[in-house]
Structure 1
Amino acid sequence: MKIFSPLRSLSKYSITTFRSDLPAGLSVFLVALPLCLGIALASGAPLFSGLVAGMIGGLVIGLLSGSEVSVSGPAAGLAVIVADSIKGLGSFEVFLTAVVIAGILQLFLGILKAGKFSGYFPDSVIRGLLVAIGLVIILKQIPHALGRDNDFEGEFAFQQLADGENTISEIYRAVVTASTGAVIISLASFLLLFFWEKLAKKGVGFFKNFPGALAVVVLGISLNELFRVVMPDWYLGTSADQHMVQIPAIEEGKSLFSIFYFPDFGALTNPKVYVTAITIAIVASLETLLNLEAADKLDPEKRVSSPDQEMVAQGIGNMVSGLIGGLPLTSVIVRTSANVYGGNKTRVSAIIHGVFLMLAVFLAAPLLNLIPLSCLAALLITVGYKLANPATFRKTYREGIYQFIPFIVTVLGIVFTDLLIGIGIGLVVGILFVLFTNFQTAFRVVRDGNKVLIKIQKDLYFLLKPQFKQALRDLQPGDEVLVDATHASFIDHDIYNILLDFQETAQTMDIKYELKNVSPKKRSLRSHARTRETTISE
């Protein structure tokens, strides 16, 4: 396995590429900053643990990732698991031990090439994931754009942990209690972004090279500071401190490294630690693989990521994160989307976002705490709209009901439950539809008068028993039937027995019945032939 292939991918890096990756990394940083803090709050973990995880997601996983566009960080989908685990294990330090073990498990999964499991995710579900995340971003950020910040930043669940509201009722509360200052800042940010992107697309030099996300932040800070002087009632710094970015201050008299927590390895004898580690490893791995597939869909250059390499990177990242007090990490589609729409070219943008997070913690906290969440909400809502573009709904609908139903079920499942449950529902429905459509073409029955051809066009598995039995029941006395299995490399044992047993039924019904290339040795002979071909080719 080529573990260091990502490092070789940077061998031809140039200043031209850096000009694209720097603003993209800055955009991801501005999106990731409140999310890291919000997810830490939702997880019941120290605030710095979210920022530490964000740094590791950029600096470590960004360097080793199997993708040029994916960005990793603390995941909203794991927040409930993390909160329950910390309570169940008794301390955050014991929980960190489970995170380290989870990272080791992910590393081994990557080495064992378990990442290829991602190839089984139906495209309709991946597309539904992207659209659903876009809708959730929009719905969850509307309250922040209106100045209501009762819910944690980065929480994606429909039923909110922070205030007992749900996504819809929270929007209603936000409209009723809207802050004039926040509304003005968010509307001004939307207008600035709209015209900025228009001018950038027209090739206007300044607007093309200077990141619009940074311009929005400068606008947000400037307007809020102006309100403090000319319209104190609209000023957001005193009316609702939670509406501002809140990087916690390092306690006076303590070193910069006091933000780090360390695992309690004395808990290695506790069986609950291993149960937690396995849970985190499985859930984080599934979420990462699904997001990696989605990242490839977003990538304008249509590069194909290495899921095995990504699993190795995630494993190493979670080991490091656990060792220095960070939350568990996954590939995160919100950060990845901001990265792609920010115009990134390589993984360096993810590393840059990690560098900015580190500078934010150690050097720039007082300045960054002046940023109103309403201007960041405008940035996120813009990303959400690009993900949930109405054109995607129209395109998927035109592709037919077998694509549209798994897609829309995934979208609704994520929006009205939470990320993990919604993905689970979408995957189950998607796989069922894939199986159903495959079964529809596994065999066909052609009738011409009393002549009937049952042509087996691909392998027959036991799930096809009901359809096959029905096809045989539909035969009429006097029919001349040919069952042709020439194109099947495998026939399930149960179906093979059904075919043989029907010979007696055919005689009693006066049906002429012939089997062609249906043999009990069919499977083994084909398997043997394939084995020989593989051996010869090697």
Structure 2
Amino acid sequence: MKTTQISFQIVDLSNVEGDIKGGVVSFLVAVPLCLGIALASGAPLFSGIIAGIVGGLVVGLFSRSAVSISGPEAGLIVVVLAAIETLGSFPAFLLATFLAGVLQIGMGYMRAGIVSNFFPSSVIKGMLAGIGIILIIKQIPHLVGYDADSAEEISLFQPEGFTIFSQFQAAIGQLNGVAILIALISLTILLLWERPFFKQNKILKNIPAALVVVISGIAINELIGLFQNNWALKGNHLVQLPVADSPAAFFNLFTLPDFSQWMNPQVYTAAISIALVASLEALLSIEATDELDPLKRKTPTNTELKAQGIGNMVSGLIGGIPLTSVIVRSSVSINAGARTKLAALIHGSLLLICVIALPTVLNRIPWAALASILLITGYKLTRIQIFKQLFNEGIAKFLPFVATVAAILLTDLLTGIGVGMIVALFFVLRENYLNAHKTETFQDGGQERIRISLGDYVSFLSKASMVKLLTNVPENAIVEIDSTNSSYIDSDVLTTIQNFKETAHKRNIRLVFLREPADYKPVPESIIAMRNRHLREIEEMN
């Protein structure tokens, strides 16, 4: 009862400090990622910031997730880019985003959130580990001063365009001593902050390590600029937030949707694509975030779909790109100590305040400092202990996990999850094939007797194992089929038993059906009626 109550708290007074840390750190990481994702999507840069603000304040308010943070996400880049190109107008695209939000709310009321319950934990952990590995690899160029790829797309290999390997080649040719210095100092600070001395110090434990990293990065770069201006990091080595020089210019950064396009069928096609991809990513991210939550709370997925829908409606109305729950920001926040949705609200509030009052300060943050924070986050998502844990749980857990990680690295997030699900489904079918029935073999007066006890729900998946089992029955044996505990038997399985009955006498096999339950337990009338029907069908075989 206590856990359920906590999961819906906006503020937990006992953890305000941790929530503030989580909100601040996720805000620092979100600024460049919002800009980079908007840039990669072919949208105005400020539209990414708008989505980040809406994700923190609007979704944060309506969501019942304790620790998830929403905003623009790299998995939506391809969908957004294609929609803008197809519609030929950003305002028309905003209308599609608004309609996608309406669809998501409808999906929430239709209880489509149940989809997340069908994703096994091994695939979810594989998704987290895959994202962690990509975060680590993609930060390395930033750590040495190469900052052309700020979108952080979730893919290492692309059939066309700029790949991670070409980034490494370019990075080697553009090493920057100042960026490397800032990265080394930043990583040192982040690692030291995990040591007992810092974690137990009354003052230092309340200061987010990421904030110290950002302030140190700015200070080092500014100090170097005072003595040797041409050495200081500039341009795309720093955060690049649009700066408005007047209130009118600030409001001009917002864009309204083009409602005159409401009769355009392509708008609805784009809305459906955005709604489906954003909803699936949100459900998967929520499932993964619940895994990371130290308190192991469970988010109501249908409510989350509604919250995401409201967020996309608002984002589309004021000029933002689509948003969804984001694992990277959520995990950064959790690692910093966040435990309630106060962190998400702080994250959104800081984005809003800083783009209004402090854009020039944000534009002094070096990418190398932020890359250090993301690299440590990636490490925590893909620790070697996670691989060991899944390996020790057996091949049925480990292979779907590894397949998910590998497929995400080789393709993209959704494809990788799909591959992991296929591998996990294979083991489900394999387990059903091997253990669909309980079989006992014993001797009865010198004659072999085989008892087959059917389970409660015998689906068509049991047909293959039943065929194999009955085919391998030796001659002159007695076969007992006990279906007294079965509430449902698929017609394919009944047909298999019937076919065996018709041919058993040719091998001198005697077939016996047991109908009386050994341990009666009250069941609903509907189940009793279904069971009686199957018993009559089996009785007709005698």
Q: How big is each residue's C-alpha offset from its partner over 1:338-381, in whole Å with a ceiling of 9 and x where there is no partner?
A: 11001012101101000111122111111110111000000010
Show the counterpart of 2:190: 193
Q: Give the corresponding residue for 1:96.
A: 94
CA contact (8 A) 2:452 2:482 kept: yes
Q: Among residues 113, 118, 121, which one is paired with 1:120 in the alignment?
A: 118
In structure 1, give the amino acid aligned to 2:466.
Answer: F
Aligned partners of 1:360, 1:152: CA distance in 2, in Å?
20
Q: Does 1:248 align with 2:242?
A: yes
Cα drift, residue 32 of structure 1: 0.7
> Paired residue for 2:217?
220
Q: Does 1:360 align with 2:360?
A: no
AA matched with 1:362: I
Shift of 1:446: 3.0
- The TM-score normalised by the length of structure 2 is 0.91
Work out whether residues 97 and 264 of structure 1, in 8 Å CA contact, stay in contact via their aligned partners in 2. Answer: yes
Partner of 2:139: 141
Change (3 A) 1:351 1:531: farther
Contact persistence 1:22–1:349 (CA under 8 A): yes
**1:80 Cα deviation from its structure 2 partner:** 0.5
Offset, 1:294: 0.8
Alignment of 1:229-244 (within 5 A): 229-232=226-229, 234-237=231-234, 241-244=235-238
Which residue, out of 438, 458, 461, partners 2:459?
461
| Distance in 2 between residues matched to 1:385 and 1:484, nearest whole Å | 52
Tell whether 2:3 aligns with 1:9.
no
Displacement after TM superposition at 1:440 (Å): 2.9
2:58 to 48, 57, 60: 60
Which is further off, 338-347 or 443-452?
A: 443-452
Question: Does structure 1 residue 282 correspond to structure 2 residue 276?
Answer: yes
Alignment match, 2:506: 508
The secondary structure found in structure 2 opposite 1:341 is helix
2:369 is equivalent to residue 372 of structure 1? no
Partners of 1:197 and 1:207 within 8 A in 2: no
Q: Secondary structure at the match of 2:94?
A: helix
Match for residue 391 of structure 2?
397
For the Cα contact (< 8 Å) 1:62–1:350, is it kept in 2? yes
Gaps of 5+ in 2: 517-522, 531-542
How far off is 1:225 after superposition? 1.4
Q: Take 1:466 and 1:431, find their aligned partners in 2: how far apart are those partners? A: 16
Selected match of 2:252 from 236, 255, 258: 258
Deviation at 1:458, TM superposition (A): 4.0
Q: Is the 8 A contact 1:66 1:308 kept in 2?
A: no
Change (3 A) 1:7 1:392: closer
- Partners of 1:70 and 1:331 within 8 A in 2: yes
Matched, 1:327 2:321: yes
Kindly tell me: are residues 202 and 53 of structure 1, through their superposed partners in 2, closer, same or farther at Cα, counting changes over 3 Å? closer
Cα distance, 1:160 vs structure 2: 5.3
1:414 corresponding residue in structure 2: 408
Give the secondary-structure state (helix, strand or coil) at the position aligned to 1:263. Answer: coil
Equivalence for 1:181: 178
SS in 2 for 1:218: helix
Who is 1:387 aligned against?
A: 381
CA distance in 2, matches of 1:6, 1:273: 40
CA distance in 1: counterparts of 2:55 and 2:311, whole angstroms: 7
Indicate how the Cα distance of structure 1 residues 352 and 344 shifts in structure 2: closer, same or farther if over 3 A, else same. same
Partner of 2:539: none
Q: Tell me, what secondary structure is at the counterpart of 1:302?
A: coil
Contact 2:454 2:482 (C-alpha < 8 Å) held by counterparts: yes
Identity, in percent, stands at: 43
Structure 1 CA distance for aligned equivalents of residues 39 and 218 of structure 2: 24
What's the CA shift for 1:231?
4.1
Relative distance call for 1:253 and 1:105 in structure 2 (3 A) is: closer
1:440 maps to which residue?
434
Q: Secondary structure at the match of 1:259?
A: coil
In the other structure, the counterpart of 2:202 is 205
CA distance in 1: counterparts of 2:263 and 2:76, whole angstroms = 24
TM-score using structure 1 length: 0.91
Amino acid across the alignment from 2:9: S
Equivalent residues of 1:441, 1:457 under 8 A apart: no
Q: Compute the displacement of 1:132 (Å).
A: 1.0
Matched residue of 1:245: which SS? coil
- Where structure 1 has 5 or more consecutive residues not aligned to the other structure, the ranges are 519-524, 533-538
Change (3 A) 1:460 1:302: same
Q: Offset of 1:278 from its aligned partner?
A: 1.2
Deviation at 1:274, TM superposition (A): 1.2
The total of aligned residue pairs comes to 517
> Using the alignment, how far apart are the partners of 2:127 and 2:139 within structure 1?
18
Deviations along 1:20-66, one digit per CA (max 9) or x if unpaired, are 21121000001111110010011111101100000000000011112
- Deviation readout 1:101-137 (Å, 9 max, x if unpaired): 1111111221222212211110100111111111111
Q: Does 1:307 align with 2:301?
A: yes
Q: Report the more deviating stretch, 105-114 or 253-262.
A: 253-262
Letter in 2 for 1:76: A
Cα–Cα, structure 1 residues 160 and 260, in superposed 2: closer, same or farther, change >3 Å?
farther
Question: 1:54 & 1:313 partners in 2: Cα distance?
Answer: 14
CA distance in 1, matches of 2:315, 2:188: 39
Contact kept in structure 1, 2:487 and 2:528, CA below 8 Å: no
State how far apart, in whole Å, the 1-side matches of 2:528 and 2:484 are. Answer: 16
Q: For the residues of structure 2 that align with 1:66 and 1:202, how far apart are their CA atoms? A: 30
What is the aligned partner in structure 2 of residue 30 from structure 1? Answer: 28
AA of the residue aligned to 2:26: V
Q: By how many angstroms is 1:243 displaced?
A: 1.3
Cα distance in 2, alignment partners of residues 334 and 481 from structure 1: 57
Contact 2:225 2:231 in 1 (8 A): yes
**In the alignment, what sits opposite 1:84?**
82
Task: Report the Cα distance in structure 1 between the residues aligned to 2:90 and 2:528, rounded to whole angstroms.
Answer: 53
Contact 1:7–1:64 (CA<8 Å) still a contact in 2? no
Find the aligned partners of 2:496 and 2:143 in 1 and give their Cα distance: 64
In 1, Cα distance between the equivalents of 2:54 and 2:32? 16
Question: Root-mean-square deviation (CA), in Å?
Answer: 2.3
What displacement does 1:7 show?
Answer: 11
- Cα distance in 1 for partners of 2:333, 2:402 equals 26
Separation in structure 2 between the aligned mates of residue 201 and residue 398 of structure 1, nearest angstrom: 34
Q: Cα offset for 1:434?
A: 2.8
**Residue in 2 that maps onto 1:131:** 129
Q: Is the 8 A contact 1:139 1:171 kept in 2?
A: no
